[in-house]
Structure 1
Amino acid sequence: MRILFFGRGVISTQYAWAFEKAGHTVEFYVRKGRKETFGSDIELELWDGRKGKQVIKESWNVKLHEELSPNYDLIIVSVNTEQLPEAAQLLSTAAGNTPVLIFNNVWQDLKSSISPLPINNVVFGFPAGGGGIADNKFRGGFLKMVFLEKPRAGTEHINNKIKALFESAHFKISWIKDMQNWLWNHFAMNAAMETEVLKRGSFPALMNHNDSFANVGRNMREIIPVLKARGAKIDMISQLITKIPPALLDTLFNKIILAKGSLPRFFIEYNNSKPGFAIFEVVKEAKKLGIPLPRLTVAYDKTEYHKAIENSTS
């Protein structure tokens, strides 16, 4: 299969590597000027969780393009959430009828989030991996599981193509019946975690404070009314985060879910992304709904998105 990844970020890099190793042709679309900046190689320190826990260290040669064409079997989009509308707009004119996998966090209504792309040419999914890229070196990895929405009427052929692709690379698919609801809950969880990251200063610093996840739970409890007001059902993970006593939640995360040496912990420790957009979106929605979010609002005031709004109105 010939696959184009939209952007050469953390998620795109590692799954592209896995697909190439499985015999597929993978290429990347990058913005003007990025081809020269990125170069033709990227240094990998990739933790592969498909069979136990293997670390891959290699210099990987990649093919980058600064122009889009429809000459692919599948386009996979995994970009910063705030970049998704621009990506969808560009693909709507340049991708032709090529099917698209949106492998991304989404807070908006799914159909409007990828407009003007036709919804029946798009499947939504989510990775189980993470990490960061600095100085053209990738550090991170993925687990065996990936999340894909169950076929909608009209997307069965695309789902089957995507299923075959991931299974050819030995990933296991967890089918999500209500992807909209699943992503709403996941996005809210991101906002709860980013609030604590801003307080601590970085994702790695989050792991070095015993009460970090107790506070993530408190942040998530604050967001629950926003989810309910949107019509979301509170899923099992969100309930877990909000129902368990804070002290026990810290123990659960630090000793079990994110235990030292675990892959999920590595993914967070290597994450060097800028937090804030998830907080911005959730606070904006809460303001429209008239729901107070005191903990998130304190964090929101520190984000670059809030500062940009203040500067534009001053």
Structure 2
Amino acid sequence: MEFYVRKGRIETYGSSIELEMWDGRKGKKLIKESWNIKLHEEILPKYDLIIVSVNTEQLPGAAQFLATAAGHTPILIFNNVWQDLKSSIAPLSMNNVVFGFPGAGGGIADNRLRGGFLKMVFLEKPRVGTEHIIQLVKECFESAHFKISWIKDMQNWLWNHFAMNAAMETEVLKRGSFSALMNHKDSFANVGLNMREMIPVLKARGAKLDTISLMLTKVPPALLGTLFNKVIFAKGSLPRLFMEYNNSKAGFAVLEVVREAKKAGIPLPRLTMALEHAEHHKPIENSIS
């Protein structure tokens, strides 16, 4: 696999990266090695498939760049999306793009990538005009022994997933990091309360609550906290390790939902308070005023 990086980054990253990755395709296997990587500061339209997995706020820039750099190369968007799918990847053509989401997590620091992946990847069911790309992506992941969970309505799935991320990031803003989130017993009870607060925003844009959103909003907060702490993110579990290794900056998902709610006149006191008390609350306040 080859990676595109911005100009000047090849020298920064070098030719290898230290891996500490948990492989969940068959049980639980730790991969710990130095991985030789091939980096490019330019993209030529010569690849079978381009996979885009960037920070959510970077997706518009990535789409703009690929619109000229990728040619007719098929593109898989492995990303959180809050906008409607078509506008989120403009000016790329929807006929050249398919949407999915990985069952993975982690973070990188000091040239060491820590985290891992589960055996499941989520992929949208074929849209008219994308059948050949879907088949290509399917063969790619199945040949690597991943299983595919087919999503009938990817737009709705991503809206729900983005809202869940915002509910989690609200607590990360309060706790200071994703790893700290794991060590507070009330965190996931609060995630449920945050999700409940966002339901009117989801409904205002026409989203239907999926199974996870319903669980977050219907299960009593105290029980939800126990379920997450003792089962879903139990100590030693891969999902917990992925969260503990996540060193990304939280807040963008919260900001996007608050912006949407502000336009619709929907109050979000829990999310707004988290933004206001974050270290970067001043620029955020200016951006939503």
Amino acid at match of 1:252: L
- The alignment status of 1:136 with 2:115, answered yes or no, reads no
Partner letter of residue 299 of structure 1? A
**Structure 2: which amino acid aligns with 1:226?**
V
Answering whether residue 195 of structure 2 is matched by residue 223 of structure 1, we say: no
2:129 to 154, 159, 179: 154
Alignment-mate amino acid for residue 85 of structure 1: P
Aligned ranges 1:212-291 → 2 under 5 Å: 212-291=187-266
Looking at structure 1, the residues matched to 74 and 271 of structure 2 have their Cα atoms a distance apart, in angstroms, of 37
1:247 deviates by 0.8
What is the DSSP-based 3-state SS (H/G/I as helix, E as strand, rest coil) of the residue aligned with 2:209?
Answer: coil
Q: TM-score, normalised by structure 1?
A: 0.90
The residue identity in structure 2 corresponding to 1:295 is: R
Counterpart Cα distance in 2 of 1:213 and 1:133 = 25
Q: Does 1:164 align with 2:172?
A: no
Amino acid at match of 1:81: T
Instruction: Find the aligned partners of 2:68 and 2:194 in 1 and give their Cα distance.
Output: 40
Structure 2 segments unaligned to the other structure (5+ residues): none
Residue aligned with 1:127, SS: strand
In the superposition, the TM-score normalised over structure 2's length comes to: 0.97
In the TM superposition, residue 299 of structure 1 has moved relative to its aligned partner by 1.5
Residue aligning to 2:7: 32
**Which amino acid in 2 is paired with 1:240?**
M
Identity %: 80
CA distance in 1, matches of 2:79, 2:280: 20
- From 64, 71, 74, the equivalent of 1:89 is 64
The answer for the alignment partner of 2:38 in structure 1 is 63
Taking the aligned partners of 2:167 and 2:247, their CA distance within structure 1 comes to: 17
For the structure 1 residues 305 and 109, does the alpha-carbon distance in structure 2 shift closer, same or farther, using more than 3 Å as the test? farther
Deviation at 1:307, TM superposition (A): 3.0
Aligned partner letter, 1:87: A
SS at match of 1:128: strand
The Cα of 1:82 is off from its aligned counterpart by 0.5
Contact 2:255 2:284 survives alignment (8 Å): no
**Mapped partners of 1:111, 1:304: distance in 2:** 33
Q: Is the 8 A contact 2:173 2:275 kept in 1?
A: no
Shift of 1:68: 1.4
- The Cα shift of 1:308 comes to 2.8
Unaligned runs of 5+ in 1: 1-25
Cα offset for 1:33?
Answer: 1.3
Provide the aligned C-alpha RMSD in A.
Answer: 1.5
Q: CA deviation at 1:257?
A: 0.7
1:182 to 157, 167, 175: 157
Shift of 1:34: 1.1
| Correspondence 1:110 to 2:85 | yes
Q: Is residue 297 from structure 1 mapped to residue 281 from structure 2 by the alignment?
A: no
The one-letter amino acid paired with 2:36 is N
Aligned residues: 289
**Shift of residue 98, structure 1, vs aligned partner:** 0.2
After superposition, the C-alpha distances for 1:70-120 in whole angstroms (9 at most, x for unaligned) are 110000000001000000000000100000000000000000000000101
Map of 1:50 onto structure 2: 25
The answer as to whether partners of 2:174 and 2:277 remain within 8 angstroms in 1 is no
